[in-house]
Structure 1
Amino acid sequence: MEVAVKKVSHDSSRGMQQFIAEIVSIGKLRHRNLVQLYGYCRRKGELLLVYEFLSRGSLEKFIFPSHSDAASSSPRAILNWTQRFEVIKGVASGLVYLHEEWEKVVIHRDVKASNVLLDADMNPRLGDFGLAMLFDHGTGDALTSRIAGTPGYIAPEMTRSGFASMSTDVYSFGVFLLEVSCGKRPVEIKTSSTGEHLVYLVDLVLSCWRKGTILKTIDPNLKSEYVVEEIELVLKLGLLCTHTNSEFRPSMRQVMQYLNGDAALLQTDLWALETSDTINRAFAGPRAHLGDLYPYGVDSITTGSSSTPDVSVMSGTR
Structure 2
Amino acid sequence: MIDTAEVSAFRDLHTRLGDAVESAVRGKRDVIDLVLVAMFAGGHVLLEDVPGTGKTTLARAVAGALGGLSRRVQFTPDLLPSDVTGTSVYDPQTGQIRFRPGPVFANIVLADEINRAAAKTQSALLEVMEERTVTIDGVGHAVPDPFLVVATQNPIDLDGTYRLPEAQLDRFMLRTSIGYPSVDDELDVLRPGSGAGRIADVRTVTSPREVSAFSGRLSLLHVADPILQYISALGTGTRSDERLRLGTSTRGLRTLVRCAQVYAASKGRHFVVPQDVQDIADPVLAHRLVLTRESVLAGVTTSEVLADVLARVPVPKPAAQ
TM-score after normalising by structure 2: 0.26
Structure with the higher helix share, 1 or 2: 2
TM-score after normalising by structure 1: 0.26
Greater CA radius of gyration, 1 or 2? 2
